[in-house]
Amino acid sequence: MIQKLPAKKMVITGDYAAAYGALLCDVDVVAAYPITPQTLIVEEFSNFVNDGITDAEFIMVESEHSAMSACIAAQAAGARTYTATASQGLALMHEMLFIASALRLPIVMPVVNRTVAAPIGIWCEHNDSMPQRDTGWIQMSCEDNQEVLDMIIMAYKIGEHKDVLLPVMPCLDAFILSHTVEPVDAPSSDEVAEFIGKYKPHAVLDPDNPMAIGTFTPPEYIQELRYQTHVAMEKAKNVIKEVTKEFASKFGRDYHGLIEEYRCDDAEVVLITVGTVTGTAREVVDDLRQKGKKVGLIKLRFYRPFPAEEIRKIAENVDAIGVYDRAISYGSGGPLFIETRHALYGLDVPVLNFLAGLGGRDVVTGDVEKMYEILLKAKEKKPEKEIYWIGTRGVSI
C-alpha cells in the first residue's frame, strides 16, 4: 500500500519519473541492482520505501539476472512487480526475459537505453533493448519525461490485460531523458488506482491450491505455447489503442496508440523516428513546411508489437519513406529499418535507412534536415543506396 498522493506538477528527471510512476501504481515488489544510467530509478524508489510512502518489498539482489528472477518469482506468487536496467545489465537478463513472457507474467521494467560494450560507453544507444525483440516483451519508446511517467502507468494496464498478460519494457534515452529535468504532470494515486485497477493474476503459486508453472515440457506442447504468446502480442495492438484512448480521456494526454502521425496527411515523404530525436524532427518538419516542402513524421512508440499495418497505410500514399535508427544490425542496417522494409514488402516506394546518434552522439536539426533532403531526392530519382550513416567521420553520403 502507498500513502495517498495528490496530483501535482514536478520538475524531475526521466529516472525519477520512472520511479514515481511505479510508486503511483502501488507495486508490491521491487528488485534492484544498479547500473548507470538506470541506478537512480531504483535508488529513488528506495527513498520512497525508506520514507514510509510505500510498504513495497524492496529486494537488493546480486545481479540483473537475479533481479529478473526475483520479479518472476514474486509475480508468479501474485505480486505486482517492478525493476529497471540498462545496457549490459539487460544483456545479462536475456535468459530470464524469455521465462517472464512464456509464463505470461506482466512485469514492468523500464530500460534506460545505453550503448553495449565494447568499447565501453554510458551514453544513449538502442542496441541494448532492440536485440531483445524476440523475447516476448512488449517494447515502447518514450520521447520525454512526461511520457516516461505516463507509459509506466499504461504499461501495467496493458500488460495485465486478460488478452495480453505479457511483460512490458518502456525505454528512455540515456541522459537525454534519464538525467535531464523537465516539467511533468503527475496524477494522484487515487486516479491511477482507478485507472489500472488491482492486479488479478491468471495463475498463482499458492500452497493451498498447488500447481506447477514453467516445468519441463516435451515437444508435444511447446509449439502451442509459442503460438499463444504470439497471439497475445498480436492482441496487444488493440489493447494498446484502447488503453491510450482511455488514458487520454481520463488524464488529457493522448499518445495515439502504436504510432503518432505528424503532418502526414498530404506528405510526399515521411520519416519514422523513435525516442528523443522525434522532438527535433518535429521542428525540422515545421521549418521545411514553411519552405513549401511536403514532409511528414511518424513517431514510432512501439517496437513490439510492431505497427506494420499503420505504417503501411501511410506508406501507400507517399513517394519515399525514411527510417531513423539509433542501433545497427551489422550488415543489414538498423532494426527499425529491417522491420519497416518487411512491413512494406511489395510496395513500390523507396525505403531508406538513416543511422545516427550511435554511442550517444547528438542528433541535431542539421542531421534531420539531411535525412529529409535525401528523401526528397529519392522522390525524384531512385537512390543509389538504402543505408546512410549520418554525421559519420570518413563516410560520404
Q: What are the residue boundaries of the structural domains of the chain, listed by start?
A: 8-251, 259-389
- pLDDT tens digits, one per residue of 232-279: 999 999 999 999 999 999 999 999 999 999 999 999 999 999 999 999
288-293: list long-range contacts, CB under 8 Å, 24+ apart: 288/369, 288/372, 289/263, 293/372, 293/376
Q: What is the DSSP letter of 68?
A: H
Helix, strand or coil, per DSSP, at residue 111: strand
Three cell numbers, residue 152: 509506466
Mean pLDDT by 10 residues, the chain (397 residues): 96 98 98 98 98 98 98 97 98 98 97 96 97 97 98 98 98 98 98 96 87 89 96 98 98 98 98 98 98 98 98 97 98 97 96 97 98 96 94 92
Instruction: Specify the pTM.
Output: 0.96
Q: Residue 173: what pLDDT? A: 98
C-alpha dihedral (123, 126, 128, 133), degrees to nearest 10 = 170
The C-alpha atoms of residue 372 and residue 397 are separated, in whole angstroms, by 13
Beta-carbon contacts of 354 under 8 Å, excluding residues fewer than 6 positions away, are: 271, 322, 323, 324, 325, 371, 374, 388, 390
The C-alpha atoms of residue 288 and residue 285 are separated, in whole angstroms, by 5
Three cell numbers, residue 322: 525514411
AA letter at 371 = M
Q: Residue 119: what pLDDT? A: 94
Q: Residue 91: what pLDDT? A: 98
Three cell numbers, residue 143: 520521447
Q: Residue 272: what pLDDT? A: 98
CATH number of 259-389: 3.40.50.920
Helices (H), the chain: 14-24, 39-50, 64-76, 87-102, 145-159, 189-196, 219-251, 277-290, 308-315, 335-343, 365-380
**Do 8-251 and 259-389 show the same overall fold?**
yes
Closest among 96, 106, 85 to 27, alpha carbons compared = 106
Distance of CA 219 to the CA centre of its chain: 32
Please report the sign of the dihedral spanned by the C-alpha atoms of residue 355, residue 358, residue 363, residue 366. negative
- CATH of range 8-251; options 3.40.50.970, 3.30.1330.20, 1.25.40.10, 1.10.540.10: 3.40.50.970
Three cell numbers, residue 29: 515488489
> At residue 24, what are phi and psi to the nearest 5 degrees?
-60, -30
Question: In DSSP terms, which residues pair with 333 in a beta bridge?
Answer: 329
AA letter at 180 = T
Cα distances from 19 to residues 38, 227, 359, in angstroms, run: 10, 34, 25
Q: Residue 396: what pLDDT? A: 87
